Each structure stands twice: as structure tokens, then as C-alpha cells.
């Protein structure tokens, strides 16, 4: 048996042991990027090695799962996995996401504490070597801020299916009631959900939530709604009517542009002259224009015209401002 196939079988066994609802053959095929017949063979091999594999009827489909867990040997973390967990926590902290960082650190400590002393001694030198030699560039820009207590209340409401009530903004006195559908992480933390009496979800910034409490049963999102699809409608955070965006990058900028993720569903097309065209559908024209500002004269907006006009207005405003500003206008520190 090839090492690659052995690795796939072990990974599949872990997945089947870690799921309560089980996996169908089609889901196995999608996960491992293989045909349905190959997925059936993988399942059969896992079943031969782990006879505790069971099948669950789900309508016209069968779902498979392994009950009782796996042997400690198969579940033991590697030094690479633990060092990456530590590095992920470190990167989140550098980005200002200290709440998520502390949760990952807590998870790492729990995993380490579950190891046998001999395993800890074996892994420690490699983990130290990998974490010490890993570094991250500190991102420039606004850092997210969220009260740990607010995050805890929001998560509790999501898990229990309850509404949240809060005062939104410093000088507000009106109490809002919102059904929490999810959380968006980025330069700020956002609660996603519709206010009482509304059907469409809105964004509520964490640092503006005051006197937050759990109160009553929430309205659950439609079955076809997902937070990933919701966030994908926008280039950044702000939601408006999506537009088709087509950007043309010069040959000199093509390499960097082709490696840049503007949108999860973007289409990148290389041109005969070495330039590259990137197109996607998203809202948030102001955020798009702000970002394209940084690409200078290496990008041209093919569509839409309104986005091109917005960027021109920004460029003209910036030009007039810097032309009018003199050193005498600025006081020394």
C-alpha cells in the first residue's frame, strides 16, 4: 500500500470517529477529491481495520461513523500540528484578535496536558525549534477590539438559540433586540443578525454593544442561509447591492495581482500580453475603491463605471488636499 493511501485511510478514520452524524460516500469523495468508487474502497478499507464502523440510515442515504473513538496512537498530535496551533494563536494576537488567540492557547494546553510524559518529552524539542523560528509580519491598520464578556454572551446566545438585547452606540438609549445568526471576524468583530421585526440580517459592531443580555427565543436563519455566503456578497464588510467587478492589471503587476485574493469566487484570466484580468461579484464599492487606491496606476477598472468614478473622486480629492497642504499648516510635535 502506498504511503499516500495509508495517510488517506487514517485521515478518513479520524473524520469518521470525530463526527456524530456520520459521512456519506459522496461526502467522503468530495473531502478527498476522489471518485465515488474510490471513496467506497476507502470506506471498505477503514471498515476492515475498524470493525466498529457503523452505518446510519438518513433517508435514502447511508451515513458512516466510528463509535468509541480511536486508539491513542492514531490520535496523538504531531510536533508540526502543535507548533502550527501555537503559531496560529501568536498570529491572531499580533493581528489584535486576543480573544481567539487565548482560546487557541487554551486548546493547546489541554492537548499537551492529555499527552503521556514520554510523548511530551519527545515532542518538546521539535515544538520549541519550530515555534522559535516562526515569525509573522505585524499587520498595519486598525486592530479589532471586543470585550471578552460581550463575546461570551454572544456565543452563549448563538448556542442556545436565544435573542440578544443591547444598547447600540454610546449616546443611544433605545434597547434593540436581535436574533444572533453568526459572528464575523476581521478588522472589527461583528454580530450578524436581524433586529426585531426585520427579516434581513444586519451588522452590529462589537465595540458598540452595551448592556448586552440574553432574552427570549431567537428567530433562526433560513435553512439555505450561511454566514460564509453572506460575507461573500461584500468585498469587505458593508452590504449593498452586489455588482460585477472587472479589474485589469498591467503585466508588471500581474504576478502580484494573480496571487492576491480579492474575493473567494474571483476568476483570474491571464492575457496574451502578460497582463491579468480579475473579475468577481461583490458589494462594498467604497471599500473596493479604497483598496484599489493602493495599486496606483497598475490597475484599470473595466467595470463598473460607477466604481471608476468613485476612485477618480478619491484621487482628485487626495491630490487637491496634498497640493493645498504646506509644511507651515502642520505644527511640530
Residue whose cell numbers read 481567539 = 100
pLDDT confidence of residue 271: 92
Most confident of 14-23, 84-93, 243-252: 243-252
Give, as one character, the DSSP assignment of residue 41. H
Average per-residue pLDDT for the chain: 81
Residue whose cell numbers read 468614478 = 309
Report the C-alpha gap between 49 and 254 in whole angstroms.
49
Question: What is the mean predicted confidence (pLDDT) over 241-256?
Answer: 88
pLDDT confidence of residue 238: 56
β-sheet bridge partners, residue 270: 276
Higher-confidence position of 52 and 326: 52
pLDDT exceeds 70 at position 19: yes
Q: Which residues of 204-219 are buried (b: 16+ CB within 10 A; e: fewer)?
A: bbbeebeebeeeeebe
Q: How confident is the model over 25-51, as pLDDT tens digits? A: 999 999 988 899 999 988 888 888 777
284 and 231 Cβ atoms separated by less than 8 Å: no
Report the C-alpha gap between 163 and 181 in whole angstroms.
10
Report the C-alpha gap between 91 and 311 in whole angstroms.
32
Which residues make Cβ contacts (< 8 Å) with residue 88, sequence separation at least 6?
A: 104
pLDDT exceeds 80 at position 326: no
pLDDT exceeds 50 at position 1: no
Q: Which three cell numbers stand for residue 121?
A: 518529552
Q: Quote the distance between the C-alpha of residue 249 and its chain's center.
A: 27
β-sheet bridge partners, residue 217: 162
pLDDT confidence of residue 329: 54
pLDDT confidence of residue 135: 62
Give, as one character, the DSSP assignment of residue 187. S
Higher-confidence position of 231 and 269: 269
Beta carbons within 10 angstroms of residue 101's beta carbon? 18
73 and 37 Cβ atoms separated by less than 8 Å: no
Q: How confident is the model over 198-228, as pLDDT tens digits? A: 988 888 988 889 999 999 899 988 888 888 7
Instruction: State the pLDDT confidence band at 173, using cuts at 50, 70 and 90.
Output: confident
pLDDT confidence of residue 332: 47
291 and 271 Cβ atoms separated by less than 8 Å: no
Q: Which three cell numbers stand for residue 171?
A: 449616546
pLDDT exceeds 80 at position 4: no
245 and 268 Cβ atoms separated by less than 8 Å: no
3-class secondary structure, 219:
coil
Helix (H) or strand (E) holding 166: strand 162-168
Angle at 29 between CA 28 and CA 32, to 5 degrees: 85
133 and 87 Cβ atoms separated by less than 8 Å: no
Q: What is the pTM of this model?
A: 0.49
Report the C-alpha gap between 315 and 301 in whole angstroms.
14
Instruction: State the pLDDT confidence band at 240, using cuts at 50, 70 and 90.
Output: low
Q: Quote the distance between the C-alpha of residue 189 and its chain's center.
A: 12
Higher-confidence position of 74 and 111: 111
Instruction: State the pLDDT confidence band at 165, using cuts at 50, 70 and 90.
Output: very high
Half-sphere exposure of 195 (CA within 13 A, CB side): 9
Measuring CA to CA, which residue among 121, 22, 131, 17 is closest to residue 71? 17
pLDDT confidence of residue 2: 47
Higher-confidence position of 186 and 258: 258
pLDDT exceeds 50 at position 264: yes
Higher-confidence position of 4 and 285: 285
Domains, the chain? 3-73 (1.10.10.10), 79-132 (no CATH), 148-222 (2.30.30.100), 243-322 (3.30.70)
Give, as one character, the DSSP assignment of residue 294. T
Percent of the chain with pLDDT over 90: 18
Higher-confidence position of 303 and 234: 303
Amino acid at each position: 500500500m502506498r504511503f499516500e493511501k495509508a495517510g488517506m485511510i487514517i485521515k478518513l478514520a479520524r473524520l469518521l470517529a470525530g463526527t456524530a452524524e456520520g459521512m456519506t460516500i459522496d461526502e467522503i469523495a468530495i473531502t478527498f477529491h476522489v471518485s465515488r468508487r474510490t471513496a467506497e474502497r476507502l470506506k471498505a478499507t477503514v471498515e476492515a481495520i475498524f470493525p466498529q464502523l457503523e452505518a446510519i440510515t438518513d433517508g435514502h442515504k447511508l451515513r458512516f461513523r466510528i463509535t468509541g473513538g480511536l486508539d491513542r496512537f492514531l490520535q496523538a498530535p504531531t510536533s508540526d500540528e502543535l507548533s502550527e496551533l501555537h503559531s496560529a494563536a501568536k498570529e491572531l494576537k499580533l493581528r489584535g484578535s486576543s480573544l481567539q488567540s487565548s482560546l487557541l492557547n487554551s486548546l493547546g494546553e489541554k492537548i499537551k496536558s492529555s499527552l503521556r510524559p514520554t510523548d511530551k518529552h519527545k515532542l518538546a524539542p521539535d515544538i520549541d525549534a519550530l515555534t522559535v523560528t516562526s515569525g509573522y509580519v505585524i499587520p498595519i491598520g486598525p486592530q479589532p477590539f471586543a470585550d471578552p464578556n460581550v463575546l461570551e454572551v454572544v456565543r452563549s446566545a448563538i448556542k442556545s438559540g436565544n435573542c440578544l438585547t443591547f444598547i447600540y452606540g454610546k449616546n443611544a438609549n433605545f434597547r434593540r433586540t436581535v436574533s444572533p445568526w453568526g459572528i464575523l471576524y476581521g478588522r472589527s468583530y461583528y454580530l450578524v443578525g436581524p433586529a426585531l421585526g426585520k427579516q434581513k440580517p444586519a451588522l452590529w459592531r462589537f465595540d458598540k454593544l452595551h448592556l448586552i443580555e440574553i432574552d427570549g427565543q431567537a428567530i433562526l436563519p433560513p435553512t439555505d442561509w450561511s454566514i460564509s455566503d453572506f460575507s461573500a456578497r461584500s468585498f469587505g464588510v458593508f452590504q449593498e447591492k452586489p455588482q460585477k467587478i472587472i479589474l485589469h492589471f498591467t503585466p508588471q503587476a500581474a504576478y502580484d495581482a494573480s496571487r492576491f485574493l480579492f474575493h473567494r469566487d474571483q476568476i483570474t484570466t491571464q492575457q496574451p500580453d502578460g497582463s491579468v484580468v480579475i473579475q468577481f461579484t461583490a458589494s462594498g464599492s467604497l471599500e473596493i475603491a479604497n483598496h484599489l487606491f493602493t495599486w496606483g496606476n497598475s490597475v484599470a477598472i473595466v467595470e463598473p463605471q460607477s466604481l471608476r468614478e468613485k476612485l477618480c473622486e478619491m484621487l482628485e480629492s487626495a491630490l487637491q488636499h496634498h497640493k493645498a497642504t504646506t509644511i507651515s499648516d502642520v505644527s511640530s510635535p
